Structures are given as C-alpha cells and as structure tokens.
Amino acid sequence: MRKLKIFVSYSHADARARPGFNVSRLGRIMEELKYDLGCHSDRSRFEVLRDVEMTHVSDNFRVEIDRAITACDVAILFISEEFSRSEECEAEFARLIDLGKPLFLVEIEPILLSDEEDRIRNHRKAVKDTIFVRFWGPDNNQKSVKYGYPFPDNIATRDKYDEALGQVVAGLKARVLTLPQAGNGQEVRPNDQPDQNRVAIFVACPAADVKPEAQRLATTMEAKKFVVRAFDPELDVRKDDTFSGAFSRALAQCDAYVQLLGASPGKPVAGSELRLVRAQYDLARQAGKPAFIWRAAGFDVDDLEASYGAFLKGITDCQIGNFVEFEDYLMKKLDDLAALRRSDERRAAKSQGRNAALPFVVIDAARPDSELAQKIANALADHVNVDHLDYDLTGQMLADAVVDNNALIFAYGKSVEGQKRTQAHFRLIRRPTGELNVSQLELAVGNGAPPTALPFPRGPNVHVITVTDEVDTVEISNFLAKLGVVVEKREAQ
C-alpha cells in the first residue's frame, strides 16, 4: 500500500510546552492531525515525516531533513511569527518550492511582522499549488483570536478549531486519492483483504464527539492482534462508487461490527437522506454481522434533533455509559470470536476423511479407564465422530476439546485416578474461563464405577450414560437426540 508522505515544517519554539503543561498548542494541533489521519496504525494511508521522529543524535540532521523533503508527497508548514523569523524554516520553505512540492500553508496565529523580520513573505508569493488554512480569525468584536488557544479544549473557539483542522484533513485525504493506483486500476487500501487467519473488526466511522473513544478502541484491538477495518467515507467511497456499496463490501470481509454513538448524527451521506451514524447502522443491521454498539451518556437524548433522538431510543441492544466497561466487554466477546475461528479451523482439519455432517464427541478418561472409554466410543461410533483426549492432558488441551466439539463425555470408572480426574475436569468445565465456553456443549458422564465409589459429578443438563457389561442403549439414544441424531427405537434396544 502506497502511503502519502507528509513533511512537517514548523518552529521548535512553537512546539515548546507551555509552563505547567507537557504539551504546546501546536503540539496538540499536530497530534490531533495525526490522530484524524490514523497515523498511530499500520492501516493508515499517511506517513508523517517530522524531524524529531525521523532523526537521531548520530544522524546528519540537515541531510536527513533534505532527504525527507525530497521524498515527501506534500508538505505542511505551520506558519507563525517564530516560523517566519527562522532561518532554518525559511530554508525548508525555499527547498520545498524549488522541488515543486504541493504545500499546505497553515497559519496558527496572525503574522504581525515587518518586511525585515518576515523571512518567508516573498517565498509565499512563489507558491503555486497551495491549500491555505488559518487557525485564527476575528471574533464578534473583530478582534483576532487564535482558535483552540491556549489549548483546543477551549469551548469558545472549538468549533472554529475543528473546522480548520477538518480543512487540513480533507485536503490530505483528497491528495492521497491522487497517488498511483494498483495495476488493475483499483486503489489498494489497508485491510481490503484482511488477514484470513485473524479476526477482522469493522469500526464504523465515528462522529466527531466520539472520535477519541473510537481511536482508543482501535488501538486496543490492534494491540490484541485483531485486524481493524476503520471505515472512512472520504477514502473508501471511490469514484463512481456508492456509500452503501463501499460500506457493504468492506463489512463483508469482517467478522464483527463495532459502532460508537454520540450526540452528533454525523455528516450527510451522499446519495442518501440519512446522516452518517444512521446510514452505517442500518447497513450493518442488514448485513447480519455480530454487532457491538456503545452510546455515550454525557447528553440527554431528548435535547437532540427529534429524528436522531428517536433513532437512539430505538436501539435496544447498545451499552450506555462507562466506556471502559464496554471496552472490556468487547475484548471478551472478540476473544470468543477468535476462539471460535480457531475452533472452526481445527474442526475443518479434523474433518479430513470423516463425515463433517456428524457431531464431534470427545471422551475424557484416565489411562486405567481406557476400556470403559472404548465401550462408550463403540456405542457411538456409527452416529458421531469420536475422539479421545490424551491421557496426559493440559488445561489448554481441555479448552481445545471444548471449543472443537459438540459434546464431552467423562468416563467415570473404577480407578481412583479416573474418578479424581473426572471430578477436577468437570469443575473446570462448569466454571469456564478464557476459551472454556460451554454454552453450546453437551456434557455427559459415562458411569462405570462400582456402587461403593464416590458419587459421580451431576448437574443441570448433564447426561448420565450407565455402563456395565454393555452401554445402556436407551441412555445413549437420549444423549444422541440432544446432538440432533435420531436413533431408531429398535436400534436403541
């Protein structure tokens, strides 16, 4: 995948942290820009070339900077009074112009310098391919104010700040679409063909008010080795394509759908009467994928636009409120999906040369009870696929047996070793953790122990199959019926 390389030119004086803080306003602007471009992730279409991130003490600093300028597809210049006074910033500006690089001139404050002080004024006249954005403007009293000053959290100018940031992001996204395409004429996008060996999660494009949570969630999922497909209409809806078509194709390649809902309905969707949040939700529901929905609680639904408020109220299966709790819940559910994926793969491998239409049953027995286990296996052999667990069994092997099979039978025989094994494994299965998910697993005890033995494990929905010289055929047929296998009455007798 070809990434858009973005060279960032700025004054280090503007990036110096404010007293009492560990970040500057420019630092916040650059971080939020990288955040909106998804630069934290390998799936991003963008690569930011910033001096402090690409050079080391041992490097020839100016040589490395010149290499980055030469290699970049576009440059962003964060113009300030400090930038305009800087000899190094002027040199970078001039070099970019000489190479004919597309430039984004981003003014982060009014420039009130004389001609003698402003080293870049004349260079600006030579710029041809430019997008110009201001992070400042007049207030209601026509006084110049910096948007997001001293930090973007400033509510008074946050809307103007977001608008300016959005202009830069939109310009870069438009630029990335001009990069050379793959040989078949279709642009190669991250996760267009997700890793088939990993669970792929589709993350709906969030409205602005829940972007931080969406970013955190994507980072968490990637850290746990899930493939994250973060939908972005500005990048994913290609020319001569439709929103619904691009969305549905991307979702079809994923295993689950995640959407975070806030107070904003999102931007209008081209070709639809719906806005972004509702349009994505409706398409995901039609697709029938496992869906995990969270809604922020910091607003009153009744205060929202009527149609959007009614839409939110109509969603009955979303979690509301604590994001950390939702994140923990989601990770557990995705772990279950990953376990199921691994189980399906192992079942497919086990099915080679066997009847995959029949249920899979595994028998757990200690070595001294192997004869008992074989009697049970012989009684089942014509109706199911039977396997035996290893005598030397680990907890993970037991977990694999649970997720790979339709039923588990404990052979409870004459040996004390086998009785203890059954008791221990039964407790583990009935108190599942991690991959030990028994919600769809049929459990049975093949009881071949003498009357003087300790009672065998019992519990709700646990079948008992009595084994003496022979296996009780009625109890076997009842057990098989729970697996969907019908045994003729005469055969059971």
CA angle 399, 401, 403 (to 5 degrees): 70
Residue type, 59: D
What pLDDT shows up at residue 146? 95
- Residue 40: C-alpha distances to residues 32, 36, 248 (Å): 11, 10, 25
How far is the C-alpha of 482 from the C-alpha of 465, rounded, in Å? 13
What pLDDT shows up at residue 127? 85
Q: Which long-range contacts (CB under 8 A, 24 or more apart) does 158-165 make?
A: 161/135, 162/208, 164/106, 164/133, 164/134, 164/135, 165/29, 165/32, 165/33, 165/36
How far is the C-alpha of 208 from the C-alpha of 210, rounded, in Å? 6
What pLDDT shows up at residue 489? 52
What pLDDT shows up at residue 53? 63
What pLDDT shows up at residue 344? 74
The per-residue pLDDT string of the chain (493 residues; one tens digit each, 9 = 90 and over) reads 689 999 999 999 999 998 888 889 999 999 899 988 888 777 789 999 987 765 554 457 788 899 999 999 999 999 999 999 999 999 999 999 999 999 999 999 999 999 999 999 988 888 877 899 999 999 888 999 999 998 887 788 988 999 999 999 999 998 988 887 544 444 444 444 445 568 999 999 999 889 889 988 988 998 898 999 999 998 888 878 899 999 999 999 999 999 999 999 999 998 889 999 999 999 999 999 999 999 999 899 999 999 999 999 999 999 998 999 999 999 999 988 887 787 777 767 777 777 878 899 999 999 999 999 999 999 999 999 998 998 887 777 787 667 678 899 999 999 999 999 999 998 888 765 444 455 678 999 999 999 999 899 888 889 999 999 999 999 999 999 999 998 865 444 4
What pLDDT shows up at residue 357? 82
- What's the pTM value of the predicted model, to 2 decimals? 0.65
Helices 211-223, 323-350: inter-axial angle, 10-degree rounding: 40
CB-side neighbour CA atoms (13 Å) of 349: 6
What are φ and ψ of residue 489, in 5° steps?
-55, -45
